[in-house]
Each structure stands twice: as structure tokens, then as C-alpha cells.
Amino acid sequence: MPKKNPNRPYKAIPPAALKTTSRRQTRRKDSPAKSVPSLQRVTLDDLRNSRERVRLQTLQRKIALAPPLDRHPPEKLGDFLPPWFEKNVAKSGELLATASETLQAALPAKLWRNIALGPLQRGLLTLYCTSSTAKMELDMVLRTGSPGLRHLQMATKGLIFKVKTVVDRASTSG
């Protein structure tokens, strides 16, 4: 028996003896390839180590956490509509009426005829003008820090704090 060389612990294998294997050859024959949906009925045993089992568990968890249907009975439209109308429509309508009266008192009659009130969203009131000249005059009256804008803010109790002017002939004619 030949002596082992301490610098060379393993016996060299000639390159011709090495056999390359592909992925297909390394896969075991008894293990299935990627799961292919079949038309067979799936049982709980089949779902043990598959994605479908995870989906089933997620679905069961969602069903378990869902509140019972009778916990919150549906509201009648008559119970829901008046408070909603009061909160969203009537309050905004009163605010726009106050803004309209204040602007009508502060602006010349000729200029007042050339503008129309637009939406009020998050404290920004949009005013539509018929021409760029009317827009420029309105901007001068309602410039930030001007008495016209401060008067409008005080009349609406601070709910309007900015005014945007837009040239739009379609919104003002009619």
C-alpha cells in the first residue's frame, strides 16, 4: 500500500472520469415536478405541503375574523340621509351664501356680474370669471393679505382661507 502524501490528502480523479449531470438528471424521479392543476378532486391530505393549503388556511382565518353579519344591521335611508345632508350640503350651502353676500357687498356691480361661485374644497373657494380682465380685477381685490380677503375670511369664520380665480366662460354664462 502506498504511503499517503500529507500535501496531497485526496487521490486525484482524472477529468475523463468526471461525469457532468444536468438538472433533470439530478431530480428524483419520485418527486413531482411543479404542481400542475389537475381535474381530480383535491383532498386535505393532498393539500398538506402545497400552496393550496396556505390559501385554504388564509381563507379560513379571514372567515373566522369576519364579524357576524347581524352585528351591524343596515341603516335605513331615512335615518342616514338627514344627518348626512345637514353635515355636507346644508353647511356648505350656508357658507357659500355668506361668501356670496360678502363678495357682492365688496365688489363693484359690473365685476360681480362677471363671476360665478365654484366649489369650496378644503378651505379653497374657486371663482369662475368670464374674462381675463375680470380675473385680474378680482385677483387684485382678493389678493392674499388684502382687506377684501380678510373680510371674506371673517364673514365665513375662517372656513375660507384661500380664493382661486379661473377664466371659464361656460361656468359663468347661463
3-state secondary structure of 164: strand
Residues of the chain with pLDDT > 70: what percent? Answer: 64
Query: How many CB atoms sit inside 10 A of residue 95's CB?
Result: 17
Domains of the chain: 80-172 (3.30.300.180)
**pLDDT per position as a tens digit, 107-165:** 889 999 999 999 888 889 999 999 999 999 999 888 877 888 888 888 988 888 889 99
Whole-model pTM over 0.75: no
Q: What is the pLDDT of residue 115?
A: 92
Average pLDDT on 32-44 reads: 58
pLDDT of 95 over the 80 cut: yes
Q: What angle is formed at CA 19 by the lines to CA 14 and CA 24, rounded to 5 degrees?
A: 165
The rounded mean pLDDT for the chain is 76
pLDDT band, residue 70 (cuts 50/70/90): low
Q: What is the pLDDT of residue 81?
A: 84
Q: For 110-163, what is the HEC assignment?
A: HHHHCEEEEEEECCEEEEEECCHHHHHHHHHHCCCCCHHHHHHHHHCCCCCCEE
Identify the residue with better confidence: 77 or 173.
77
Q: What is the pLDDT of residue 148?
A: 84
Identify the residue with better confidence: 137 or 65.
137
Q: What is the pLDDT of residue 144?
A: 78
